[in-house]
Amino acid sequence: MRYKVSVVGSAGCGKTTLVHSLAYNRPPMDTDDTADIHSMRLRVGGEVVGVRLWDTMKGEYMGNVSSLAHKSACICLVVFDFVSRPSFAAASQYVQKVLGLEPDLSVIFVATKCDLAEINHKIAVTHEEARAFAALYDSPIFFVCGLTGVGINQVLNEMSTIIGRKMIDNAPKSILSLEDLEVTPSSSKCYC
């Protein structure tokens, strides 16, 4: 079975780098305007499942949110640039529009470019502010650097956990009870 994960965020926030780090364990060769679907395998419990990451085009959602990227998705990664206040502000608009289209989506917030925050000693959002924002949606948040891979495994683990829960929730339910399976001896005799 394949699971769909949509990825949204403002232009230049690091969506494509994040997607390539998740799917291929490396940053992309080119980060021009993208709108791609990337396939990957993810271990969920003892099973390996297919995941399709929908890397959306910059700014696609701000004016006109397309439901195509989110239809049948089980997770939405809402990405923002940790060193850009406008990117963080846009994350609020993205999550509201996405949940307006697909209210049952699980949301994971991802703050990217954390390496730049350390190098430049500049952050646009405090960790506390970002965590409080994610808590408004009862969602986890991860601080990552797609170029170095820092934090990527945490995002993968959370995706695996969410997909595992969805697999259990969507598992076929038996209509037989244990009592139905018990064999009671027949009183009739067979004359075969």
Query: Any idea where the domains of the chain sit in the sequence?
Result: 2-181
Residue 89 Rama label (left phi>0; alpha psi -120 to 50; beta) = alpha
Question: What is the C-alpha to C-alpha distance for residues 75 and 104, in angstroms, rounded to an integer?
Answer: 9
pLDDT in tens, 111-141: 999 887 677 777 788 899 999 999 999 999 9
Long-range contacts of 153-161 (CB under 8 A, 24+ apart): 155/18, 155/22, 155/77, 155/108, 155/110, 156/22, 156/42, 158/108, 159/5, 159/22, 159/42, 159/51, 159/75, 159/108, 160/42, 160/43, 160/44
* pLDDT value at residue 63: 44
**Beta-ladder partners of 38:** 53
**146, 127, 168: which is closest to 15 by C-alpha?**
146
The pTM of this model reads 0.82
* pLDDT value at residue 35: 62
Low-confidence ranges of the chain (pLDDT < 50): 61-65, 180
Which residues make Cβ contacts (< 8 Å) with residue 122, sequence separation at least 6?
Answer: 83, 116
Structure tokens at 71: 């239809």
Residue 73 dihedral angles phi and psi, to the nearest 5°: -75, 150
* pLDDT value at residue 61: 46
* pLDDT value at residue 190: 55
pLDDT in tens, 81-98: 988 999 999 999 999 988
* pLDDT value at residue 56: 77
Q: How far is CA 22 from CA 127, 184, 189, in A?
A: 22, 54, 64
Residue 160 dihedral angles phi and psi, to the nearest 5°: -60, -45
Instruction: Answer whether CATH 3.40.50.300 is correct for domain 2-181.
Output: yes
